């Protein structure tokens, strides 16, 4: 009796595998194969124009040596980390504060406030850039506000370019964090908060000791997703500053574009893309370790 049962189980597993086959094929075609090709091209001298565009050759680690010995690489890494940390802190804090303030509010209130905040997130990066250009222009809204308190206008895009692009990205992405935290906060039982208040905890203690630990997994997931999306931000920075002035806002994404598309060195640009991938992977591993919960 054991043999027929085992044969039936194998048959069922085979049927399940067949059903999964289309998804596996799509995953291989649009994810696994491009990654393999990207890794391979990073070890070649492939170019966008010229002889190397058609007959590129394997050059080993030459692209990586050139990248790691180029001072611009380290400037780009520093700018990327500044942009990443500033965006993560801004998006997470603002998103959480908005979600927390909207907790337990009337449905009518949330249905009005929520969409207003989501407007910035659903906008394409280029539209966000144009809005921020108008906001931070010498005659824009920000300087008009400063003028009301008798502060001289500031050339934001030249005097504080990194701060400007960080603020723009925070405005663009804070709504995503708000949605994540709002969903998590709605699942925190009100009985737990009430019990903490009965035990003498004030609102701040309840927030830090009760609510935050309850949404720890959401914080980790939100941080990881925001990290990966922020590392890939290109259009927003390109439209606002083009990576300048000088190289003050040249992140790895901008640096990769300059090497691959402006300088036509696709192999070199792909190598920089691999560096960007490594940075994202390292950040993901760190977040997973830090936010790991005990079973």
Q: Tell me what pLDDT residue 255 has.
A: 95
Residue 25's domain comprises: 2-41
The three-class DSSP label of residue 84 is helix
- Same domain? 139 vs 171: yes
- Same domain? 16 vs 100: no
Task: Establish whether the linkage from the previous residue to 245 is cis, with ω within 30° of 0.
Answer: yes
Does any domain span residue 122?
yes
Does any domain span residue 59?
no
Q: How far apart are CA 125 and CA 79, in angstroms?
A: 19
242, two tokens:
């083009």
- Same domain? 28 vs 134: no
- Same domain? 24 vs 104: no
Q: Tell me what pLDDT residue 4 has.
A: 54
209, two tokens:
């000791």
Does any domain span residue 55?
no
Does any domain span residue 48?
no
Q: Tell me what pLDDT residue 171 has.
A: 92
- Same domain? 75 vs 161: yes
Angle at 268 between CA 267 and CA 269, to 5 degrees: 90
Number of domains forming the structure of the chain: 2
Does any domain span residue 154?
yes
**CATH number of the domain that 189 lies in?**
1.10.3720.10
- Same domain? 137 vs 275: yes
Q: Tell me what pLDDT residue 295 has.
A: 46
Tens digits of pLDDT across the chain (295 residues):
445 567 777 777 777 777 788 888 888 888 888 888 889 999 999 998 887 778 889 998 999 999 999 999 999 999 999 999 999 999 999 999 999 988 877 777 788 887 888 888 888 889 999 999 999 988 889 999 999 999 999 999 999 999 999 999 999 999 999 999 988 888 887 778 788 888 787 888 888 888 888 888 888 889 889 998 999 899 999 999 999 898 999 999 999 999 988 888 999 999 999 999 888 888 888 877 776 655 4
- Same domain? 25 vs 84: no
Does any domain span residue 111?
yes
- Same domain? 133 vs 271: yes
Q: Tell me what pLDDT residue 120 has.
A: 82
- Same domain? 7 vs 140: no
Does any domain span residue 295?
no
Q: How far apart are CA 231 and CA 226, in angstroms?
A: 8
Q: How far apart are CA 142 and CA 153, in angstroms?
A: 8
The three-class DSSP label of residue 123 is coil
Q: How far apart are CA 235 and CA 272, in angstroms?
A: 18
Does any domain span residue 177?
yes
Q: Tell me what pLDDT residue 18 has.
A: 78
- Helices (DSSP H) in the chain: which residue ranges? 2-27, 33-41, 51-54, 62-68, 71-102, 107-122, 125-136, 141-148, 156-159, 161-186, 190-198, 203-206, 212-214, 216-231, 235-240, 252-257, 266-290
- Same domain? 173 vs 266: yes
Q: Tell me what pLDDT residue 83 has.
A: 96
- Same domain? 36 vs 71: no
Q: Tell me what pLDDT residue 32 has.
A: 85
- Same domain? 171 vs 249: yes
């Amino acid at each position: 009796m054991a043999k027929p049962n085992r044969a039936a189980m194998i048959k069922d597993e085979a049927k399940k595998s067949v059903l999964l086959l289309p998804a596996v094929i799509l995953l291989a075609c649009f994810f696994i194969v491009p990654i393999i090709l990207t890794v391979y091209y990073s070890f070649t001298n492939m170019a966008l124009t010229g002889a190397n565009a058609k007959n590129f050759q394997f050059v080993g680690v030459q692209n990586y040596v050139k990248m790691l010995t180029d001072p611009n690489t380290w400037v780009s890494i520093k700018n990327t980390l500044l942009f990443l940390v500033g965006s993560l802190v801004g998006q997470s804090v603002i998103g959480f504060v908005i979600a927390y303030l909207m907790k337990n509010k009337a449905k009518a209130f949330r249905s009005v406030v929520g969409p207003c905040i989501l407007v910035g997130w659903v906008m394409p990066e280029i539209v966000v850039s144009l809005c921020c250009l108008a906001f931070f222009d010498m005659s824009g809204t920000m300087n008009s506000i400063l003028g009301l308190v008798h502060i001289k206008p500031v050339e934001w895009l030249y005097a504080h370019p990194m701060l400007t692009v960080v603020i723009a990205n925070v405005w663009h992405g804070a709504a995503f964090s708000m949605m994540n935290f709002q969903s998590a906060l709605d699942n925190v039982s009100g009985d737990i908060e009430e019990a903490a208040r009965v035990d003498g905890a004030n609102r701040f203690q309840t927030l830090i000791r009760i609510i935050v630990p309850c949404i720890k997994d959401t914080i980790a997931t939100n941080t990881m997703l925001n990290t990966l999306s922020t590392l890939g931000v290109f259009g927003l920075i390109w439209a606002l500053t083009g990576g300048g002035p000088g190289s003050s806002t040249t992140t790895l994404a901008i640096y990769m574009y300059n090497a691959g598309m402006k300088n036509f060195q696709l192999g070199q640009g792909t190598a920089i893309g691999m560096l960007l991938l490594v940075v994202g992977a390292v950040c993901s591993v760190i977040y997973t370790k830090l936010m790991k919960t005990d079973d």
